[in-house]
Amino acid sequence: MTPERWKQVKEVLDAALRRPPEERGPLVGEACAGDAELRAEVESLLACQDPAREFLETAAQLAVVRSLAEARPRRGRAPASAPTRS
């Protein structure tokens, strides 16, 4: 892919990613204006983007939940950092 072509792909892709998913198809269709190859490339990249974003969001949420669970004292037990009475 030439640098000029990549610039076209990137411009359409960036514009599509700034829109909600339901608005992307019409935007890409209009921006590609009959250039089937450009449209296919952008749609391919968009298809990869959504699962990657979902994976990262899920992983981040899981990390937060685990962190909160580890930081919260358990019932009937003193927090790890609190002194215990003997």
Q: Model's pTM, two decimal places?
A: 0.58
Q: Determine the length of the chain.
A: 86
- Rounded to an integer, the average pLDDT of 27-49 is 92
pLDDT in tens, 48-60: 876 556 665 666 6
What is the Cβ-side half-sphere exposure of residue 47, based on CA atoms within 13 angstroms? 6
Cβ burial, residue 75 (10 Å; 0-12/13-18/19+): exposed
Whether 11 contacts 5, CB under 8 Å: no
pLDDT of residue 49: 75
pLDDT, tens digit, 9 for 90 and up, residues 3-13:
999 999 999 99
With helix as H, strand as E and coil as C, how does 41-62 read?
A: HHHHHHHHHHHHHHHHHHHHHH
Mean pLDDT across 13-34: 92
